Structure 1
C-alpha cells in the first residue's frame, strides 16, 4: 500500500475512533481486508492513538479563538495525523505531511478545510 493510501485509511480509522470511542484494532479490522494491512498505516494509527494527548496539546497551542473540541472531526483527525508525522516520523518530510493533510482536508472536509489545516500546520512547524 502506498503511503497516500495508508494515510487515507488511517484517516478513516481515526475518524471513526474520534466519533465512536472504541478499540482501534476492531475498527481497523472492520475497514480493512487482510491484504490491506500495512506497516505505515498501523504506525500512523497506533502513533496517533498513543500520543493523542501530546498531539492535541500541540494543536491546541496553535489554534486561535478555537479549542480542539470545537473543531470538526474531519479537521481534528487530519491535524492529528499530520502533527503526529511532523513530531514523530523522521523519514517523512514536513512539506509532504502538510501537503497530504491538505489533500485529505479537501477530500473529506468543506471548502475551507484545506486552508484551515494548512494555517494550523504552518504555525506548528514555525516553532
Structure 2
C-alpha cells in the first residue's frame, strides 16, 4: 500500500481496524492491534500513517467515555446494541474529531461517516449516523 492514500480511504481503514477490535473484544478474544492494523493496511505497522494509529488507539482506549457521550444523545437506544459496523463508524468519527491534534471540519467528519454508512450499513442507516454525529460532535 502506498503511504499517500486518500484521507477518505484512511478513515475507512481506521473504521475497519476499530470494527475488527470490537469483534475481538465482543468475543473476549486477545488480539494484537498492531497485527490487526498491519493486515488491514497491508503494510508494516511502522509504515501505517500516524493519524491512523492515533485515531484507532484513542478510539479504543476511550471507548467507554465515547460510548457514554453518544448514549446521552440516544435515550431510546443503547449504544452497545448498535450494529458493530455502526459503532465502529461512530467511534472513528468521534476520535478523529475530538481526540486528535488535527483540526478537521465537523462537516467533513460527518460526510466521511455518512459515506461509510452508505457503503457498509443498511440503506437508511446513514440518516441515524448523520443525526447522532451532528448532535455529538
TM over 0.5: yes
Q: Once the 2 structures are TM-superposed, how far is the Cα of residue 82 of structure 1 from its aligned partner?
A: 1.0
Deviation at 1:61, TM superposition (A): 1.0
User: Contact between 2:97 and 2:106, CA under 8 Å: does it hold in 1?
Assistant: yes
Q: CA deviation at 1:32?
A: 2.3
Contact 1:10 1:41 in 2 (8 A): yes
Equivalent in the alignment of 1:25: 34
Corresponding position: 1:112 with 2:124: yes
Contact kept in structure 1, 2:11 and 2:52, CA below 8 Å: yes
Query: Secondary structure of the residue that 1:20 maps to in structure 2?
Result: helix
Q: How far did 1:112 drift?
A: 1.6
Deviation, 1:110, is 0.7
Separation (CA, whole Å) in 2 of partners of 1:101 and 1:32: 19
Q: 1:12 aligns with which of 10, 13, 16?
A: 16
Larger Rg: 2
Which of these residues, 87, 96, 106, is aligned with residue 98 of structure 2?
87
Find runs of 4+ consecutive structure 1 residues off by over 4 angstroms: none
Q: Which of 116, 119, 122 is equivalent to 2:134?
A: 122
Which ranges of structure 1 fall in alignment gaps of 5 or more residues? none
Residues 59 and 68 in structure 1, CA contact (< 8 A), matched pair in contact too: yes
| RMSD across aligned positions (CA) | 1.6
Q: How does the TM-score come out when normalised to structure 2? A: 0.83
